[in-house]
Chain A
Amino acid sequence: MGEADVTNLLIDWNHGDQSALDRLIPVVYDELHRLAARCMSQEGSGHTLQSTAVVHEAYLKLIDQQRVHWQNRTQFFAVAAQLIRRILVDHARTAKASKRGGAARKLSLDENIGVMESRDLDLVALDDAMAALAQFDPQQSRVIELRFFGGLTIEETAETLGVSTATVKRDWVTAKAWLFNELNVRKGAS
């Protein structure tokens, strides 16, 4: 599916055609997945940092920018944020499963040093904590998703969720505090 189609779907969706979303998601998902896989295979900084680059790249690739209004763009990023969260967390979960138990002290000779891998230790925990947050404040969890995984600004997030920027700011600051606390203090080991 070419980029013109995605653009059309996005415009249709924005005009109220919900089925357009169903057709849009698989295309965007595939593209994100391909891009994410490529990012993850490269060494460098953590995935989370790359996630926004991935989303932007997918956007530039899939969407005819001249035809899409500002509002359509936030819609795209909103969908993409959700998808990239799923991709990255799934990846982190798999990576974690394969090195479970690896936290033990290697009290042995110190000739050798382990290999570098990307840092994805906290992503699964973050995802779990976001799910817990969504239980009592779904909007706040969305704010984190849009901003952290989708790379949206406060203004764009407000636009997407249809709330004021003041609300987004408040949700962002307090959700961060709650998640930080959850990840660093309360949360037991998995």
Chain B
Amino acid sequence: MDPELWQRIKEIVYEAVELRRDERQAYLERACNGDATLRREVETLVAASDQAGTFLDQAAPSRGPVDEDLSGSTIGPYRLTVEIGRGGMGIVYRAVREDEYRQFVAVKIVKRGLNADDLLARFRHERQILALLNHPNIARMLDGGTTPDGRPYFVMELVAGQPIDTYCDDNQLGIKERLRLFVKVCAAVAHAHRHLVIHRDLKPANILITSEGEPKLLDFGIAKVFTPDQQDGGSTLTSAWVRLMTPDYASPEQVLGERITTATDIYSLGAVLYELLTGAKVHRLSNTSLTEMERAICLADPPKPSESPGANRELRGDLDTIVLKALQKQPERRYLHVEQFAEDIGHYLEGQPVLARPDTIGYRVGKFCRRNKAVTAAAAVVLVTLIAGVIGVSWQARVARRERAIAERRFNDVRKFAGSMIFEVDREISQVAGATKARELLLARSLEYLDRLSQDAGNNPELARELAAAYVKLADVRGSGGMANLGLPEISVENLRKALTLREQVLASNPSSLAFRMELADTARQLAGMTKDPAEAARLIQRARGILEEASRQNPTDRRLRNYLANVHFQSAGLIQAAHPQDAIAELRQALQLFEDPTDISLTHKRIGALLIVAGDVDRSLEEYRAAVALDEETVRRQPDNARTKMNLSYGYSDWGYVLYKSKRPKEAIGKYLLAEGIRAQQAAADPRDYRARHAMVSITWRLLLAQAAAGDKAAAHQTLRDAVRLGEALVQDFPNPAAINELMTVYMTAGDASRDLDGCVQARFWYEKLRKFPAATPDQLIASCASGTHIPPTGQ
């Protein structure tokens, strides 16, 4: 393009875009002054500008260097009066609610540049939990929304008070008074922890003391909104967020981006207490260099409070020990929970011996300590029960020597309960369409606490075994075969590897145990099916086969063993089917001999059918599908509410239809496809977030289109074509991943092929053109083939 011409075009386009649509024509008429080429160019760009919508906008969140002062403006029902604070996340205003509820509140407006949609979605999710935080020492979260320019805001109870550090200094509180105040803060934090809310950003500025001397904690749960857990997916902002934190109170695990637990708050509380007692910060950070910050927080031992300059002698001894225990680098070496921290301060105030011990090697590895850690984690698992509304065990797992026996008994209760959560509750939920997210949340939460237990599992095979089972379960919902899944195979692999390691440990504790051997073999087998490394897969499957074949020789009639071995044959077929299809069929036939579950038998028939069709043996392939579908239909009849078996049946219909289509029996194929479509439409509607069901729905629609076009049913094909395009575009909209994009491309390609056969090249071209926005497509080739009459086979690359 000629640069000068472009300058002219640019001016005109910009003018036009700024105008109302009905004014544009007249303007363009005038501006282009009869130059048809110019006019065409300009009109194209004006149209493009209209269509472009949020193109490129989304990736360019403005990071506004200085957020403007919004005092005096109104957001929703709130009129902002004056700025009362600002921090990493945004600016806080004092505001008044101007409708009938006239009320003074604090409104925090999030900085520009943080993704509003994500934040709000997480806020809505968190709000339900935050609503439970009804405690006199915690500022209430009242509301949340978006400003007219799209920034999220949060509305909180307005607290008149002073940050705890300045309050203590201004009122010249002594050590004991400071400690008493701090114990109240702990009580509020403990309340939140009981409701599964971790503050994550405790610091003096978030702990206000009212004029009555009562603490009020601000911003509970806010940090969570800004830092989704790894399990929640999408952790883009996490590490950026940590940089926004005040490093003086950040724990090592926050700096390192590791898992945040209630122990994180204990650390921050420790840092606050340190400062309250000594007037100095834990780490003397001379600048905010990240490396120095990391070193100080993660490696350097903080000086004892009593050794800080001008420190009160009263700190020496127990208070040193208490503060340093809270500030341990490793979360599991801190206090088990906030109550324990507060109780220990209470012991000190009452002149009783404190629980915290100076940090010695012997103490560290002591059995007592380890046992208590397990109990903490167990107590944490109880929280999971609260959220599920299945309260079996009370929180009162206070840990003191005299209560150890009780605590241990509870620990076992809790273990049992967690097991029930993961296996029984999950099994029930998994059968219900629409529960994918709920299942994942449930399992992730349970696992989060079990992870803490697993730190103690080294010499406890029973515990290691339960944990391994939990990891396998989570891998299952995260994306391995068969289940509705959220499309996260890498996490599945990760969990399976953890399970494998644990199971190796378990087996080492008793190498002759049949159960342990079987479990190890089965996990190895599952991992073989998930890993992307073929050499690893082959090695794992060999390992599994070796273990199970030896065990079978010793226990020839064990049914579970037969089933495990069948799975190995099945999995092994998958690994070799591309290179050696006949061998794979032989493996699958062996699996058929061993499987007892009709779902497994059906799937094996389907696999054999698939390999036969690749080999060109249509008749025998149809036999396999007939057998498979008969079994699936029977299963669905017996369990009409089971989402999974229904999807299995739909795959059977669809693949059967495909074989019929390939053998030029399109009318019969349509019959099978419609059966499959009926099931998938129902599943996709039940849970729009179920990627697998949505993808399958798109897939069946274009398959149906091909069959209808081949059968010459023009009217039906036109309708199906529109459906396919609509569903495909919605799929990519909701799940913009390559597999979905590929599916949409397939839809366009199929639409083009069908249009070519039904309506001719002009219509076909419309669809083929759509492929242009995808880099790897070959529309020119398709258009050329259409014009010249050559036919590109539908399976062509």
Contacts and interface: CB of A to CB of B under 8 A. Distances in A.
A binds B: yes
Interface of A: 2-4, 38-39, 42-46, 48-53, 56-57, 60-61, 64-66, 70, 73, 96, 99-111, 113-117, 119, 121-122, 124-125, 135-137, 140, 144, 147-149, 151-154, 156, 170-171, 173-174, 176-181, 183-185, 187-190
B108 interface: no
B749 A113 contact: no
A153 B489 CA distance: 37
A154 B26 CA distance: 30
A136 to B, nearest CB: 4
A61 B49 contact: no
Nearest to A66: B288
Interface of B: 1-3, 6-7, 9-11, 13-14, 17, 44-46, 48-49, 51-52, 55-56, 58-65, 112-113, 115, 233-237, 239-240, 243-244, 287-291, 487-490, 606, 610, 613, 651, 654-655, 658, 691-692, 695-696, 699-700, 703, 706, 736-739, 741-742, 745-746, 749-750, 771-780, 794-797
B795 A180 contact: no
Contacts of B487: 113, 115-116
A103 B696 contact: no
Given A109-B654, A113-B692, A170-B10, 20 more contacts: A39-B236, A43-B234, A50-B236, A52-B63, A61-B243, A99-B776, A102-B742, A105-B746, A106-B742, A107-B706, A113-B739, A115-B487, A140-B10, A153-B65, A173-B14, A176-B56, A177-B13, A177-B17, A177-B52, A184-B51
A125 B773 CA distance: 9
Given A189-B772, A189-B774, A189-B778, A117 B737 contact: yes
B3 A111 contact: no
Contact of B52 (A111, A151, A176): A176
Contact of A174 (B45, B287, B746): B45
Contact of B49 (A60, A151, A173): A173
Given A105-B795, A114-B742, A44 B236 contact: yes
Nearest to A45: B234
B749 A105 contact: yes
B699 A178 contact: no
Nearest to B603: A111
Given A51-B59, A56-B113, A111-B606, A177 B695 contact: no
A135 B746 CA distance: 35
B774 A121 contact: yes
Contacts of B51: 180, 184
A16 B17 CA distance: 40
B56 A104 contact: no
Contacts, number: 238
Contact of B287 (A4, A46, A105, A119): A4
B240 A53 contact: yes
Contacts of B46: 177
A181 B43 CA distance: 11
A177 B49 contact: yes
B646 to A, nearest CB: 15
- Majority-rule SS of B interface residues: helix
A110 B696 contact: yes
A52 B3 contact: no
A116 B737 contact: yes
A29 B202 CA distance: 34
Nearest to A48: B59
Contacts of B56: 144, 147-148, 176, 179
Contacts of A108: 658, 795
B373 to A, nearest CB: 30
B236 A53 contact: yes
16 contacts: A50-B236, A57-B240, A60-B240, A60-B290, A61-B243, A73-B65, A103-B742, A106-B746, A107-B706, A109-B606, A135-B1, A144-B56, A151-B60, A153-B65, A180-B48, A189-B772
Contacts of A183: 773
Given A104-B796, A113-B739, A181 B44 contact: yes
Contacts of A187: 772-773
Contacts of A64: 287-289
B236 A49 contact: yes
Given A52-B60, A177-B17, A105 B750 contact: yes
Closest 7 CB pairs of A and B: A114-B739, A177-B49, A181-B48, A48-B59, A103-B776, A153-B62, A44-B234
Nearest to B738: A117
A42 B739 CA distance: 18
B1 to A, nearest CB: 5
A31 B6 CA distance: 38
A174 B13 contact: yes
Given A96-B776, A151-B61, A183-B773, A115 B739 contact: yes
A96 B62 contact: no
Nearest to B700: A110
Contacts of A100: 776
B655 A103 contact: no
Nearest to A49: B59
Contacts of A96: 775-776
Given A109-B655, A183-B773, A56 B63 contact: yes
A173 B795 CA distance: 42
B3 to A, nearest CB: 4
Nearest to B12: A174
A187 B236 CA distance: 31
Given A50-B236, A57-B243, A176-B52, A119 B797 contact: no
Contacts of A171: 10
B695 A189 contact: no
A116 B489 contact: yes
Contacts of B772: 184-185, 187-189
Contacts of A188: 772, 779-780
Contacts of B236: 39, 42, 44-45, 49-50, 53
A184 B2 CA distance: 22
A126 to B, nearest CB: 8
Contacts of A181: 44-45, 48
